[in-house]
Amino acid sequence: MVSLATVLFAFGTVVSVGLCGLGYYSYRRWDELGVVPFAVFVGLLGLGGAIGGVLSIVFGPESGEAPLWPSVGFVSLLIWSVPWALFVLQYTGKYTTIRRKIVGLLLLPLLALLLVGAIQLGTPVGTTVFDQVIGGGVLLYVLGLLAVGVYFLVRTTHEYGHLSLGQGVALSLTVVVNLLLLNTATMPQGWRDSESATVYIVAFAVPAGALLVALFWYDTFESAPAVGAIGERALAREIDDLVFVVDDCDRIIRHNDAAVETLGLTQALGTSLKEVLGEDSETLDNWESLSLETTGGTRRYDPQVSPVTDQHDRSFGSLVSLHDVTERELREQRLAVLNRVLRHNLRNKVEVVKSHAEALDDQIQREQQVRGGGFSDDEDERTQHVSTIAETANAIAQLGESARAIDRFVSQSNRTEDVDLVTSVEQALAVVDTDAHDVTVSLDLPASASIRTNGHALRGAFDSALENALKYADSEVVITVGEMSDGYEVAIADDGPGIPGDELDSLDAGTETPLQHGTGLGLWQLNWAVTTMGGDLSFETNNGTTVVFTVPHQQGE
């Protein structure tokens, strides 16, 4: 009659053979980092269980004082612990290429154990002191491999957002449960055959279930975390910023390739940061920029210093990154010079033109009064020239004011304040002469609309949109402010012919070109102002023009 223990061992053997099949299936099914050592690990785990189960069925659950299957299981564990560690190293991206040298170093302690005969199939650990020391050392080493692998898996799957912590836990259960039950089965507790067989089944059935969950529920090899680790290293290599990692004594511990190539470094590791850059990290943290001699000449860099801390906020050093701002500073200088020329020199010249035009107009008026009225043909032509000069000078002056307003809110794009949109609308209307345009302005406003945003940009957006509406409206302008979930929406509509298409084409193109030349800075001021506030801008030109822009809530100083 077949005993219950034999049935249980037979069932466990089938499960173990299934593990071998799962390893083979993984090898054939996926071609991702870590698949090969994973398949070997799972296959060896199942092979150890199958051999232990068959031996227990043939010779009985016990041979001498120790059960057969946990002895075989421990031998299997000592072997599959190496491919387990290799799987974790590749899967988490710690080492993407597994060389023979790494495999040899991991196997060396196990080979030493076999050479001294510390473990023999079906017998306890050697009785000599030498055997016991070697056996204990190797056992601690194997346990270390398993523990480190579990730590890396759980930590990696927890840190990366595209993975689930359950994935790391399921993979870790495979080794943890098998190890615990192998250790439990070897304890002298007077196991009955059925009890030993039950522990045997659990020791291999639970890992099998955990592996199935990890592979097919959490898609272990469909979203491997190695790409994140590899990407982080590639990012450090590929970025143009010069990156240094220094310890708390300001010695360089790591640096990226860009730092070596740009500064022409030969041996920087272990040297102080001041020897390489001329200043220490504390000084750089207080600087806005510094000049460095590079292989391409003198360049300007923006230094950023960030502390390197652990989970207890203890500082172990700093991360120093240097961003090349040479072109940016040159561009800012050019813009500053051009802005000054536009705001001061050009404005002064315009005032001169206007004053002379006004003086010429006064002269014509006096001559007309002397003659008793009436203009000659020459005087009429002179009057038209004077009027054209004055109008052009005013347009240039308005252009300069628009540029000044744009510079004000763009240069302070991070400055925010608490404003009320209703008050802003009223202030914008107060400075325009609606009667001169013969236009009626209607308002659809809430009682108040408080928001935190860039105040200069908001005023620039209102001024530009309102000026455009008054310019093109036939009889009416309607201003509407409505609340949204994250801010407010402003609509300024007019009943005019609509904004010319070439001006909107310039905005869509992102620049002005010879074929898409707008008539001024008004719409650009509106576009840049809304962008500075972080809002969206749109135009409706079916019946007149409706300018719609959003004002979202902003965080800032």
3-state secondary structure 88-154: HHHHCCCCCCCCHHHHHHHHHHHHHHHHHCCCCCCCCCCCCHHHHHHHHHHHHHHHHHHHHHHHHHH
Phi–psi pair at 347, nearest 5 degrees:
-65, -40
The pLDDT of residue 296 = 66
Mean pLDDT throughout 512-529? 58
- On whether the CB atoms of residues 255 and 119 are closer than 8 A, the answer is no
What count of Cα atoms within 13 Å lies in the side-chain half-sphere of residue 341? Answer: 6
| Higher per-residue confidence, 154 vs 502 | 154
Contact partners, residue 436, CB within 8 Å, separation at least 6: none
> Is domain 4-228 classified as CATH 2.60.40?
no
- Longest Cα–Cα distance in the chain: 143
pLDDT above 50 for 517? no
pLDDT, mean of residues 362-375: 64
CATH number of 413-557: 3.30.565.10
Q: Which residues contact 251 (CB under 8 A, 6 or more apart)?
A: 270, 271, 272, 273
Lowest mean pLDDT among 59-63, 81-85, 150-154: 59-63
Query: How many CB atoms neighbour CB 405 within 10 A?
Result: 20
CATH 3.30.450.20 fits 240-324, yes or no: yes
* Mean pLDDT of all residues belonging to the chain: 77
Nearest to 92 by CA among 43, 37, 40, 144: 37
Which pairs count as long-range contacts for 429-435, CB under 8 Å and 24+ apart, including other chains?
429/466, 431/463, 432/466, 432/467, 432/470, 434/470
What pLDDT sits at residue 359? 72
